[in-house]
Homo-oligomer: A and B are copies of this chain.
Amino acid sequence: MLGPDFENIVRLLSRMPGIGSRSARRIVLHMLDNKDNMMLPLAESLQKAAIDIQNCQDCHTLDTSSPCHICAAMTRDRSLLCIVENVADLWALERTGSYKGLYHVLGGTLSALDGVSPDDLHIPHLITRLDELQTQELIIALNATVEGQTTAHYITDCVKGRDIKITRLARGVPIGSALDYLDDNTLVTALDSRSAM
């Protein structure tokens, strides 16, 4: 018998994105074969990271300090605020290295089906920040999905009346992609928003 801890690890791992119960078992077996250089260091790092990593009080991203290193950086353009759905999206934008403003992580998108209301997201805090920071441009970088766009429209309505320029990411053909493989909606959007060469 492998005991309750083994079953607990399998149960917890199989609740992670992309891992089923069969691969969870394979992973635990792999770890048990490498206890000293995999299983125990992982346990230790998980414990430390759970304590050290917190949500930033300002933008709600994850960081070892609050305010996070982006909010605290004096070199960032504080007149720009970019709204993202989650931390992974913030990282994707940061990886490009071409955005130098601040962020605001919503923590999800509005969804009547899943019962996510504006108060469940960080939308009230967003409004407060916009006033405090005297933001000049608000970039909405939400997913081009129904939920993302519903949320984008809701936020636009909330911000309306303030002297803030609201923009969103451009829609069109992804770089490197073949037209043949694109969905019709993307192609129609790209055609409508065509630009002069």
Complex interface: chain B residues within 8 A of A38 (CB): 12, 15
Whether A19 and B29, one on each chain, are in contact in the complex, defined by CB atoms closer than 8 angstroms, is no
Does A64 interact with chain B (Cβ within 8 Å)?
Answer: yes
A69 nearest in chain B by CB position: B1
> Which 10 residue pairs across A and B have the least CB separation, nearest first?
A43-B46, A5-B49, A5-B45, A43-B47, A8-B45, A5-B48, A3-B64, A16-B27, A39-B50, A12-B42
- Give the CA-CA distance A49 to B44 in the complex, in Å: 13
- Contacting B at CB under 8 A, from A121-180, are none
Binary contact track A26-62/B, C-beta < 8 Å → 1, others 0 = 1111111001001111111111111011000000001
Question: Nearest chain-B residue to A37 (Cβ)?
Answer: B12
For the complex, would chain A's binding face be called helix, strand, loop or mixed by DSSP majority? Answer: helix
Task: Give chain A's interface residues, CB within 8 Å of chain B.
Answer: 1-3, 5-6, 8-9, 12-13, 15-19, 23, 25-32, 35, 38-50, 52-53, 62-65, 69, 86-88, 91
Report B-chain residues with C-beta under 8 Å of the C-beta of A12: 38, 41-42, 45
The 12 sampled A-B contact pairs (Cβ below 8 Å) are A1-B69, A2-B62, A3-B52, A3-B64, A5-B46, A5-B48, A9-B46, A12-B41, A12-B45, A16-B31, A42-B43, A43-B50
